[in-house]
């Protein structure tokens, strides 16, 4: 079959399939959340047993340093397989990233828990290791990234494409954000696209961004006009014309960072995470205690879970740092299965429905039906139901979909949505003063970190206080606006990032960013930390 006929047939078969939605600018710390789907899940076989994710990784000799003596970046370079392209679009992207080395540092730190697994999976499939860098373009390696096009996770799957590739989406769980499951789905999708476009990775990547139909129509249009049909000559959407150059620019920086004035954060060439199959639903706050992790960190390692517990129907697997698995399993073995979630006995009141009870206890009708052996929706006043309930107040599950959505609703209810186009010289601090909002919340609304670089032309969403934005008077900040003070804090015995963050009403992520603390590093008594706190948000003296 000729290449053009093959593309035509593929177009007819695939126009229904939604493409992976994209953000206008993946490098600006792309946007974060949860839908019911097929039962099939893309869980690799090695996830059935606890231990390191890289059971199918290269032999131990490679992990120990040969032939990759430096770190995981060296191993990624070794697997580069895409052709070099001398194009002004690539050069512009290289220049941009070269000027923002700290951004690349933050992306590397976010990628650290997941990158070893992604690279191992690419190698097992014989795919170019450049593709391990694609989540930088898609989401800046933020597992809670969520775009205006309803794309979610580090690989930015929209609901339909996610379901097509086996990513289960329910009220409790969204496989698009599950880093392990979504990586399997993304690589399968990319393999299919590469085959569809006769091994041309540039066209395959363009299709991943814009959809197969968009790319094939552009090819057909150029062919009819006697024009070249390679990626670099196609009339594609503006975002897609930037998409491949952006990945190739990141590839160039990883290939030779020193040539571009960068020093990449080293990532050890060794597995970071392991997977434990708990076997039943478990409260995530309880799981965090058993693993001796902060709850926010457990969510970041398991971002597929939408609520306060794993899905009653599964999966029940938890990704944990390798050094926490033995202790977690030992403590879990001592805990009876019926104590993994807290149960409450609820007496049905006259006029109550299952839906009302489910909403009250932050669960689902299906869960109530299953746990109480109900075949329908009929319940009698005076009867009792067993209801699974969270062990902690709702606000403790700060990274659950429920809490993220609640914060968004509060913003919409209490403020006015403004779209601000970044101008040269704009900073988060300056914009926070101009619009009367906090630096941290301004960054969070746009799924960024307060230290990230703003790019002229970038669009930011800002929820202003009632009455719209305001200029700051010379006499000081307007009522309700944050007063930021720099504080030096000395770590005490028993302190954790979570406790310090709670005490000063800041986020753990901010604490890490202000002090360059990578994930997994523990605090030491006497260590000095820098904090930027909102004086008005403190309940007592600092």
Q: Where are the beta strands (DSSP E) in 339-467?
A: 342-347, 384-389, 416-421, 459-464
Residue 466 CB partners (closer than 8 Å, separation 6+): 414, 415, 416
Strand partners for 387: 344
Exposed, middle or buried by CB within 10 Å (0-12, 13-18, 19+), for 401? buried
Q: Which residues pair with 275 in a beta bridge?
A: 319
- Interatomic CA distance for residues 322 and 98, integer angstroms: 34
Q: What is the DSSP letter of 522?
A: P
8 Å CB contact between 252 and 260: yes
CA torsion through residues 111, 117, 120, 126, sign:
negative
> How far does the chain reach from its first CA to its final CA, in angstroms?
73
Q: Is 460 helix (H, G, I), strand (E, B) or coil?
A: strand
| DSSP class per residue in 42-110 | ---GGGGSSSBTTTTSS-HHHHHTSS--S-HHHHHHHT--SPP---HHHHHHHHHHHH-HHHHHHHHHH
Give me the residue label for tokens 């991943």. Answer: 208
| Catalytic residue check, 138 | yes
DSSP 257: G
Please give the Cα distance from 13 to 24 (Å, whole number): 28
Specify whether the CB–CB gap between 177 and 152 falls below 8 A. yes
Closest CA to 137 of 116, 151, 121, 126: 151
Q: Which of 138, 184, 212, 297 is catalytic?
A: 138
DSSP 135: H
- Return all residues near 12 (Cβ < 8 A) that are at least 6 apart: none
Query: Looking at the DSSP assignment, which residues form a beta bridge with residue 311?
Result: none
For residue 309, what are its two tokens? 């517990």
Residues 329, 199 contacting (CB under 8 angstroms):
no
11 burial (CB, 10 Å; 0-12 / 13-18 / 19+) is middle
482, 537 in Cβ contact below 8 A? yes
| Separation CA 207–CA 212 (nearest Å) | 5
Please give the positions annotated as active site.
Answer: 138
């Amino acid at each position: 079959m000729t290449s053009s006929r093959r593309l035509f047939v593929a177009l007819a078969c695939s126009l229904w399939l939604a493409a992976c939605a994209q953000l206008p600018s993946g490098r600006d710390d792309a946007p974060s959340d949860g839908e019911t789907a097929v039962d099939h899940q893309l869980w690799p076989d090695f996830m059935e047993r606890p231990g390191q994710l890289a059971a199918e990784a290269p032999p131990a000799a490679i992990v120990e340093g040969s032939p990759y003596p430096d770190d995981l970046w060296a191993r990624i370079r070794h697997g580069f397989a895409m052709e070099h392209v001398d194009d002004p679009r690539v050069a512009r992207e290289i220049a941009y990233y070269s000027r923002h080395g700290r951004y690349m540092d933050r992306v590397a730190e976010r990628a650290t828990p997941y990158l070893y697994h992604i690279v191992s999976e690419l190698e097992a499939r014989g795919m170019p290791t450049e593709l391990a860098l694609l989540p930088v373009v898609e989401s800046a390696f933020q597992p809670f990234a969520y775009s205006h096009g309803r794309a979610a996770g580090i690989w930015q799957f929209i609901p339909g494409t996610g379901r097509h590739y086996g990513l289960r989406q329910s009220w409790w769980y969204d496989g698009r954000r599950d880093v392990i499951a979504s990586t399997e789905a993304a690589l399968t999708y990319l393999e299919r696209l590469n085959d569809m476009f006769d091994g041309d990775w540039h066209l395959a990547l363009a299709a991943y961004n814009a959809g197969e139909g968009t790319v094939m129509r552009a090819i057909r249009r150029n062919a009819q006009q006697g024009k070249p049909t390679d990626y670099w000559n196609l009339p594609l959407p503006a975002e897609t014309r930037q998409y491949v150059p952006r990945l190739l620019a990141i590839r160039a920086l990883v290939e030779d960072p020193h040539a571009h004035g960068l020093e990449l954060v080293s990532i050890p060439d060794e597995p970071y995470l392991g997977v434990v199959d708990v076997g039943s639903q478990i409260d995530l706050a309880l799981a965090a205690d058993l693993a001796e992790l902060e709850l926010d960190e457990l969510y970041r390692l398991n971002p597929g879970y939408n609520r306060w517990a794993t899905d009653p129907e599964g999966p029940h697997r938890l990704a944990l740092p390798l050094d926490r698995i033995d202790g977690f399993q030992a403590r879990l073995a001592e805990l009876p299965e019926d104590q993994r979630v807290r149960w409450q006995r609820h007496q049905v009141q006259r006029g109550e429905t299952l839906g009302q009870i489910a909403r009250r206890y932050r669960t689902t009708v299906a869960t109530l039906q299953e746990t109480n052996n109900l075949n329908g929706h009929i319940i009698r006043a005076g009867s009792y139901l067993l209801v699974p309930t969270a062990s902690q107040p709702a606000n403790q599950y700060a990274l659950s979909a429920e809490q993220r959505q609640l914060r968004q609703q509060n913003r919409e209810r209490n403020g006015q949505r403004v779209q601000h186009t970044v101008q040269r010289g704009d900073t988060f601090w300056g914009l926070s003063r101009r619009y009367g909002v906090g630096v941290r919340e301004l960054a969070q609304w746009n799924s960024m970190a307060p230290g990230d670089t703003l790019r002229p032309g970038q669009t930011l969403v800002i929820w202003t206080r009632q009455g719209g934005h305001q200029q700051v008077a010379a006499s000081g900040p307007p009522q309700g606006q944050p007063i930021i003070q720099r504080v030096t804090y000395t770590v005490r015995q028993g302190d954790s990032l979570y406790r310090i963050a709670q005490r000063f009403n800041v986020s753990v992520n901010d604490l890490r960013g202000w002090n360059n603390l990578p994930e997994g590093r523990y605090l030491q008594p006497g260590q000095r930390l820098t904090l930027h706190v909102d004086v008005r948000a403190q309940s007592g003296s600092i």
